[in-house]
Copies of this chain bind each other. A is one copy, B any other.
Amino acid sequence: MPANNPRKRTDPRVRRTRRLLRDALISQMLERDFASISIKEVTERAEVAYVTFFRHYDSLEQLLMEVLDEGLGELLLRIEMLAKKSDDSDLETEGRLIFEYAGQKADLFQILFKSPSVARVRKKVVRNIAATFRQSCLPLARSGHPMATAMLSHHIATSLLALIEWWLDNRMEPAPAQMGKVYKSLIIDSAVGAVNSVSAVPG
Candidates B92, B160, B176, B182; contact of A151 at CB < 8 Å: B182
B109 & A165 in contact (Cβ 8 Å cutoff): yes
**Interface of chain A: mostly helix, strand, loop or mixed:** helix
Which residues of the partner chain B approach A159 to less than 8 Å between Cβ atoms?
Answer: 155, 158-159, 162
Number of copies of this protein chain within its complex:
2
29 contacts between A and B (CB under 8 A): A35-B35, A61-B120, A79-B129, A79-B133, A83-B135, A91-B180, A91-B183, A92-B180, A92-B184, A95-B181, A96-B176, A96-B177, A96-B179, A98-B183, A103-B172, A109-B164, A112-B125, A113-B165, A147-B170, A154-B162, A155-B159, A162-B162, A174-B201, A174-B202, A178-B201, A182-B194, A186-B194, A186-B198, A190-B191
